[in-house]
A and B are shown apart, each in its own frame.
Chain A
């Protein structure tokens, strides 16, 4: 999705025919939880900030394994977010509950075991997909 997502945004989201949502997967324990919590806490301040943080996290993916809360507060600061509110959010157990629930939904409800995986309307696609595969899947979903 990392390489394909900009093309989806440019060709489909911009046209208003497709929207994107992100379901947290926590395959790397606490590191995954902190990264996901950071995106959620950005989203609490502004829904679009979820996506700016989402892009920022993927851009700094190599740093995330060792990142702590201060690292994410620094990210929030660089994105112009309220760092005090962001820090409080990162300590909120409700945020952790939410991202864990999404992980459970992916595993238990959608029965997805591979990563990445995509739910395009009602159809599940597991594994990485090239852009033309997304094009076909989107066309099928629109018919």
Chain B
């Protein structure tokens, strides 16, 4: 290998130069492929760990017994692949956490409910020429036919 490369680099023939460029290209391709494989490998390496996905209870129990939350910090990818249920739990928790402020920010309906009822004893309105005291929606209306004197 050490002898092979210098020979190609020092060769002055065009065919030899082409083969050198091909070799370089092949080398680059190999590097790229390796890089790609490594990159893909990072994503797929946990796959074997995720194989027990068919029985998620095993990794869940193991993770809970051994490391708990720390394991989730160290191997997030593996946990996501192997224990989708756990990965969804934090999401639900996040949703709850996001939803928490909503009830807190909805005091308006509570305030409306908590509002004091109207003081009908000082509420008057005009109806049919009469000055009516009380709730316009009252079930019963009493008409007092009287003289002030």
Min distance, Cβ A121 to any Cβ of chain B, angstroms: 6
Docked pose: A3 CA to B129 CA in angstroms: 25
Docked pose: A49 CA to B104 CA in angstroms: 43
Residues of B in contact, count (CB < 8 Å): 32
User: Would you call A69 an interface residue if the criterion is a C-beta within 8 Å of the partner chain's C-beta atoms?
Assistant: no
Given A9-B121, A22-B130, also A17-B144 (CB < 8 A)? no
Which of A27, A50, A58, A101: most chain B Cβ within 10 A? A50
User: Would you call B141 an interface residue if the criterion is a C-beta within 8 Å of the partner chain's C-beta atoms?
Assistant: yes
User: Would you call A79 an interface residue if the criterion is a C-beta within 8 Å of the partner chain's C-beta atoms?
Assistant: no
Partner of B142, one of A10, A43, A50, A120: A120
Docked pose: A48 CA to B125 CA in angstroms: 7
Residues 93-149 of B at the A interface (beta carbon under 8 Å): 117-127, 129-149
Tell me how many residue pairs across A and B have CB atoms closer than 8 Å. 152
Docked pose: A116 CA to B139 CA in angstroms: 22
Min distance, Cβ B127 to any Cβ of chain A, angstroms: 7
Residues of chain A contacted by B134 (CB below 8 angstroms):
13, 16, 18-20
Docked pose: A102 CA to B146 CA in angstroms: 10
Are B131 and A43 within 8 A (Cβ)? yes
**Apart from A21-B142, A23-B144, what are 9 other A-B pairs with CB-CB below 8 Å?**
A5-B144, A13-B120, A17-B139, A19-B138, A47-B126, A51-B124, A118-B142, A119-B143, A120-B140
Interface of A with B (CB < 8 Å)? 1, 5, 8-10, 12-28, 31-32, 35-36, 39-40, 43, 46-48, 50-51, 54, 57-58, 61, 64-65, 98, 101-102, 106, 110, 112, 115-121, 134, 138, 141-142
